[in-house]
Structure 1
């Protein structure tokens, strides 16, 4: 890194939530439902009614934004089925923040 350039800001839950919300609105726009209320406790299945194909789309958007540092498929692979069904936006945001922080160290 060039010493005259400031270090990139550390990702926060608020900034990542805003970015993930934008991605989810993009996915939901395909159904004409891009005005859904999205917060940390919002569930993907129950509240947003996303299907597995929507998670594939979201995974692509996450990779576009964050590169290989955020791997949704890998994150979901470590969960039980019930955990995936009850997955909240907040849990995803926490994963993204953690991944970005550890990705910077590498």
Structure 2
């Protein structure tokens, strides 16, 4: 993926697909996922689910997107309130920064 093709819309679509795969295990794969969707409150994801998502992000985007580092920079209440849009923005920023490096 080149930096020219990195858009928030594309990344949101990619992350939505990843989340649907995770949620399928719980029978929640039809949950509405948007930028303001909260991982904890809306999708009821637990920390183990975020670890699985981290693996999916790495598989899809490579080492350019470090989800563990992104989470580690936050306080617990910020992690609990984390939205899909915040993750989308992090991915876009990371990919663009990697393309400039």
TM-score range, shorter chain: over 0.9
RMSD (Å) for aligned C-alpha atoms: 1.1
Q: Deviations over 1:2-29 (max 9, x none)?
A: xxxxx93331110000000000001001
Higher helix share: 2
Comparing 7-16 and 62-71, the one that deviates more: 7-16
| Number of aligned residue pairs | 100
User: Which TM-score applies when normalising by structure 2?
Assistant: 0.95
Which stretches in structure 1 are left out of the alignment for 5+ residues?
Answer: 1-6
Which stretches in structure 2 are left out of the alignment for 5+ residues?
Answer: none
User: Which TM-score applies when normalising by structure 1?
Assistant: 0.91
1:14 maps to which residue? 9
* The structure with more radius of gyration: 1
1:76 maps to which residue? 71
CA distance, structure 1, for counterparts of residue 71 and residue 79 of structure 2:
7
2:94 aligns with one of 90, 96, 99:
99
Tell me if the contact between 1:10 and 1:101 (Cα under 8 Å) persists in the aligned partners.
no
